[in-house]
Amino acid sequence: MAEKDDWLKAGKIAGEVLNYAKSIAKPGLKLIDIAKKVDAKIYELGAKPAFPVNLSLNSVAAHYTPNVNDEKVFNDGDMLKIDVGVQVNGAIGDTALTVGGDEELVKASREALNAAIKEAYAGNEVRMVGKVIQETISSFGFAPVKNLSGHGLSEYVIHSGKTIPNYDNGDQTLLQEGDTIAIEPFATDGDGLVIEGALSNIYRLDNVKPVRDMKARKIVKFVEENYKTLPFARRWLEEKFGNVSFALMLLVREGVLHSYPQLKERSNGMVAQSEHSLYIGDKSVVTTKI
Ligand code: MN
Ligand code: MN
């Protein structure tokens, strides 16, 4: 079982990896080259990915990771969200920032996160966290993305337990000592709602059951052993098994794997994201702050 130290360690490494990702993410680079370096850095620091680094451009708010032969480039003027997940014995650090694009929009999400962290203590209602996020982002003249939210973190599970809203949704659930959560304000110059779009290249094991196809069976075994219930990237399978298109299609159709869709702002607004993970107490610890 993961101890508090594991949560602190996963957070610290996630923070270091995000900092590294920011330092290398320069316009002109292919997303795949950024992703490979981020993957390598996580292992170099003695941890494993909790999910594939999300590299989402412009109006895509979240859930994009490149494939092996992906041609997508982070171009000058693009707004790039970098969202890093790290795990140590199942304990998770989940942290994100935004580079490029409109600096005010980026600042709105970052300041909303800072304000939210001040409200994240044992005994406070989750809606109060959402309230300051909404107020902060609105003060910049932008909108929070209402149908994306922060979340509880538990061992080997990225989204579990409490929902940490990005607006005052009236939820009076109390934060409690020992809760592990992520807070992630998304700010947009659009409507403030995301819809599901194209494939993200991110998958998760949903329901293990017998499959006849040999390659699909090998993939399921590999995923169970290496990623358990955590999301994984198509590229990680491509690196090991070559072409996995047919097997993935089969496994998604059979309900063995869940395929995450990209989440795109409905009105094509630009989206900025900032995220930290916290260990809640009277005085909470921001585990991903370095
Ligand atoms: Mn995240
Ligand atoms: Mn998160």
Residue 50 has pLDDT above 90, yes or no: yes
**Does residue 276 sit in the same domain as residue 151?**
yes
The residue from 83, 119, 189, 265 that is catalytic is 83
Distance 94 CA to ligand 1 centre (A): 5
180 bridge partner residues? 279
Please tell me whether residues 63 and 207 are part of one structural domain.
Answer: no
- Does one domain contain both 164 and 29? yes
Identify whether 276 is a catalytic site residue.
no
pTM: 0.97
Are residues 143 and 241 located together in one domain of the fold? no
**Cβ-count burial 97-122 (b if 16+ within 10 Å, e if not):** bbbbbbeebbbbbbbbbebbbebbbe
Q: Is it the case that residue 181 has pLDDT exceeding 90?
A: yes
**Strand, coil or helix: 33:** helix
Nearest ligand atom owner, CA of 54: 1
Q: What phi, psi does 260 have (nearest 5°)?
A: -80, 130
Q: What is the pLDDT of residue 290?
A: 87
* pLDDT attached to residue 109: 98
* Number of independent structural domains in the chain: 2
Residue 236 and residue 126 share a domain: no
Respond yes or no: is residue 76 known to be catalytic: no
Q: Which one of the listed residues 39, 70, 151, 276 is annotated catalytic?
A: 151
pLDDT at 27: 97
Indicate which ligand has the atom closest to the C-alpha of 63.
1
Would residue 191 show up in a list of annotated catalytic residues for this protein? Answer: no
Answer yes or no: do 52 and 110 share one domain. yes
Q: What is the pLDDT of residues 117-140, one digit of tens each?
A: 999 999 999 999 999 999 999 999
Residue with tokens 């300041």: 111
Ligand 1 centroid from CA 211, angstroms: 32
Q: Is-catalytic flag, 151?
A: yes
pLDDT at 29 over 90: yes
Share of the chain above pLDDT 90, in %: 98
Which ligand places an atom closest to the C-alpha of 151? 2
Read off the pLDDT of each residue in 104-122 and give the average, rounded to a whole number: 98
- Look up the domain containing 18 and give its range: 4-196+267-286
Would residue 238 show up in a list of annotated catalytic residues for this protein? no
Residue 1: predicted pLDDT: 80
Ligand 1 centroid from CA 139, angstroms: 24
Determine the distance separating the centroid of ligand 1 and the alpha carbon of 288, expressed in angstroms: 11
Quick: pLDDT tens for 240-287. Answer: 999 999 999 999 999 999 999 999 999 999 999 999 999 999 899 999
Read off the CATH number of the domain in which 250 is found: 1.10.10.10
Query: Does one domain contain both 242 and 107?
Result: no
What are the strands, taking DSSP E only, across the chain?
Answer: 48-57, 60-62, 80-88, 91-99, 143-144, 150-154, 157-164, 180-183, 186-188, 194-205, 232-233, 257-265, 271-273, 276-279, 285-286
Residue corresponding to tokens 């014995």: 89
Residues 212 and 186 grouped into a single domain: no
Of 16, 70, 94, 111, which residue is the catalytic one? 94
Does the annotation mark 70 as catalytic? no
Who has greater pLDDT, 116 or 3?
116
Distance from the CA of 184 to the center of ligand 2, in angstroms?
Answer: 6
What is the distance in A from the centroid of ligand 1 to the CA of 214?
A: 34
- The SS3 call for residue 108 is helix
What is the CA(272)–ligand 2 centre distance, in A? 14
Q: For residue 2, is pLDDT > 90?
A: no
Claim to verify: residue 125 and residue 246 sit in the same structural domain: no
pLDDT for 202: 98
Instruction: Considering every ligand atom shown, identify the ligand nearest to the alpha carbon of residue 51 and give its number.
Output: 1
Q: Check whether residue 209 and residue 176 sit in a common domain.
A: no
